[in-house]
Every structure is written in C-alpha cells, then in structure tokens.
Amino acid sequence: MEVGKLKASDLRELIFNNIDSRREEILTDPKIGGDCAVIDFGDKVAHISSDPITGTSEELGKLAVNINCNDIATAGVEPVGIMLTLLAPEGTTRGELDRVMKDAQEECRKLGVSIIGGHTEVTRAVNQLVASVTAIGIGKKDEYRKREEAVPGDLLLLTKGVGIEGTGIISYEKASEVEEKLGIDILEEGKAMLDKTSVVKEGIVASPHVKGMHDVTEGGILGAVWEMSEFYNLGADIYREKLLVHRSTKAICDHYKIDPLRLISSGSMLMIVSPEKKEVLGGILDREKIQWDIIGELKKEKGKALIAGCFIEEIEEPESDELYKVV
C-alpha cells in the first residue's frame, strides 16, 4: 500500500466494513468526507475528531493542534479541548519534547483551547516524533440538525489558496535546497505558510451562511473536492483559473515537479454556499481579512471535473499526497 492516508476505496473495504455502530447516542457513521463524529448529549452535541502528524517532525505541536481543531471548525463549532499523544523515537532529547509542547500550548492559547490529557512515551516503534491529537468541540443539537441540504447549483468557495501546509513542510524539511535553488525570499515565504494552517476563524464566522464545510488536507484541493462530492452524493465542476497558488507554492512545486492541487493544504477551507448567500459570506470573510475565491459549483451528475479553458480533466479518487514525493 502507498504511503499516506488510505484511498477511499480501501477505507470503505478495510475499515468501514469492519465497523458496526450500535449506540443510539452516536449521530454519525464514519463516511468519506466527514470530518467529525457527533455524539448526542441531550440539548448539546459533542464533535470529535482525531488525526496524527506523520509527514514531518518540524512545527509538530502547531500542526497537530491546528489540523484537528480545523476538523471541529468544519461543523461551525469552537474547539474546546484536545487530547495529545506523543510517540518519540529513542534518542529524543528533553529539549525536543519541551519545544513540541510549548508550540502546542501556544497554538492552543491562540485558539482558546485546553490540552486536557493524552500520553507521551519513547518507543522503538517510530523513527521520528509522531503527534496524534483528538479534538473536542461542543455545539447545540438544534444547530447541528438545521443545516440546509446541498443541491446542484450551489457554489464552492475556497479560503486562502492551495498547498498551504505542504509548502510549509517542504520549506522546513528541505530548507537548504530551497534556499540554494529558489532563494531566501521563497524559503521564508514558504515557512510562513505554516502560520496560516488554522481554519477555525473562518469556520466559525462562515457557519451561519454555509451548507457545509470540509478542510483541505491530504490529497490537496482536488482530493477535498472529490471527498466533499462523495459526502453529498453530487458532482462538481472546478475552474483551474480560480484556484490561488501562492508564489512560494508555485516555485516549490515547479522545482520538485509536484502538483500544487494535490498537495496537502491545511489552512484552506472548502465551503458550500448558495448563490443567494455568496455576497453576504464574501463580505464577512473580507471584513475578517480572509482571502477567498469561488472556485466552482456542484452539479447533479456525479462526475467531478477540473476545467482549464477548453481542457477538462476528471478529478479522480485521491491517492498518496504529493508531499510524500519530496519528504
């Protein structure tokens, strides 16, 4: 099997087919494109998500907090706490663990989130520091239930561009080569991309005006479009010229011959908005200084297409992320 998260077809066959949910308090089943599990607590619901960071050991605390809190934000809910597990290889120093924890706490401080538990150990089972987080958010059940149904003609809005997390990781992991081949300005801009990896702010402010949200992680924007389409059982047309590729992302992807549209992009939120609410939502994002673009729309036919002028490419099930070709 390839490095990276499982393909959707393998996920269904090997994971979902072996899960049998029996508790009536559980409001969601595991599903392609679903970011959170939801548990009923009367008039409140708990949104829970879990993900590891395995593609890098740089900025580990920051990324571990953000990618999991991002999942909670796709429900329009504020994350309140995280459980943090650290698996460290032999030889890890006290200073390395201290830095990860300080970075994680700093991101939690920015988001108003508490680290409420977890586990830390040194183990021969890993060859670099691995962080895994479970994030929790609390929402109102009536707000969870009242989302409008996504329909053909609804618009797809993307915040902040593509390839954000991948650009940052490559800039840290390949710093010497990036600086030598592309220059210090590209290196510094690329590293700064990791400061954009939270989508909690846009998730909270956009929530009253959208029909659904999905954060862009492994598989990049095209993977996220494919997953969202599967989740809503609709197709999508995406317009290549509407996808923002930042200068550092383009330079790094061109150098390493990888596709920025298939590069991990925590920091980008994919939203479904009705045409009638586009201007209202856009105005809110503008006031919050969050860059956004309408990149396409949903359609009744199940196909998913990337349209570039007169050229149309089918968006296929995401495979191993472009990041793993480089690091």
Per-residue pLDDT at 5 exceeds 70: yes
d(CA 132, CA 64): 7
The 10s digit of each residue's pLDDT in 163-212 is: 999 999 999 999 999 999 999 999 999 999 999 999 999 999 999 999 99
- Give the β-pairing of 269-273 and 212-215: antiparallel
The 10s digit of each residue's pLDDT in 262-284 is: 999 999 999 999 999 999 999 99
Q: What is the mean pLDDT of residues 157-167?
A: 97
Among 89, 296, 22, 66, which residue's Cα sits nearest to residue 168? Answer: 66
pLDDT confidence of residue 146? 66
pLDDT confidence of residue 266? 95
d(CA 23, CA 42): 14
Q: What is the mean pLDDT of residues 130-139?
A: 96
pLDDT confidence of residue 79? 97
Alpha helices in the chain (DSSP H): 8-10, 60-73, 94-111, 141-145, 164-173, 175-182, 184-192, 200-206, 220-232, 247-256, 278-287
pLDDT confidence of residue 167? 98
- Residue 148: pLDDT band by 50, 70, 90 thresholds? confident
Mean pLDDT value across the chain: 94
pLDDT confidence of residue 10? 87
Contact present, 207 and 300 (Cβ < 8 Å): no
Q: What is the CATH number of domain 8-145?
A: 3.30.1330.10
Per-residue pLDDT at 301 exceeds 80: yes
d(CA 81, CA 83): 7
User: What type of residue is 300?
Assistant: K
d(CA 178, CA 167): 11
Q: What is the mean pLDDT of residues 32-36?
A: 84
pLDDT confidence of residue 35? 84
Distance of CA 149 to the CA centre of its chain: 22
The 10s digit of each residue's pLDDT in 68-100 is: 999 999 999 999 999 999 999 999 999 999 999
What three-state secondary structure class fits 238? strand
Per-residue pLDDT at 57 exceeds 80: no
Q: What is the CATH number of domain 155-325?
A: 3.90.650.10
Domain residue ranges in the chain: 8-145, 155-325
pLDDT confidence of residue 273? 97
**Percent of the chain scoring above 90 in pLDDT:** 82
Distance of CA 311 to the CA centre of its chain: 28
pLDDT confidence of residue 326? 95
For Cα atoms 107, 113, 119, give the angle at the middle one, nearest 5 degrees.
85
**Percent of the chain scoring above 70 in pLDDT:** 99
Q: Which two tokens stand for residue 11?
A: 């996920």
pLDDT confidence of residue 213? 95
Q: What is the mean pLDDT of residues 309-314?
A: 92
Contact present, 164 and 269 (Cβ < 8 Å): no
pLDDT confidence of residue 61? 93
Q: What is the mean pLDDT of residues 45-55?
A: 91
DSSP assignment string, 60-107? HHHHHHHHHHHHHHTTT--EEEEEEEEEE-TT--HHHHHHHHHHHHHH
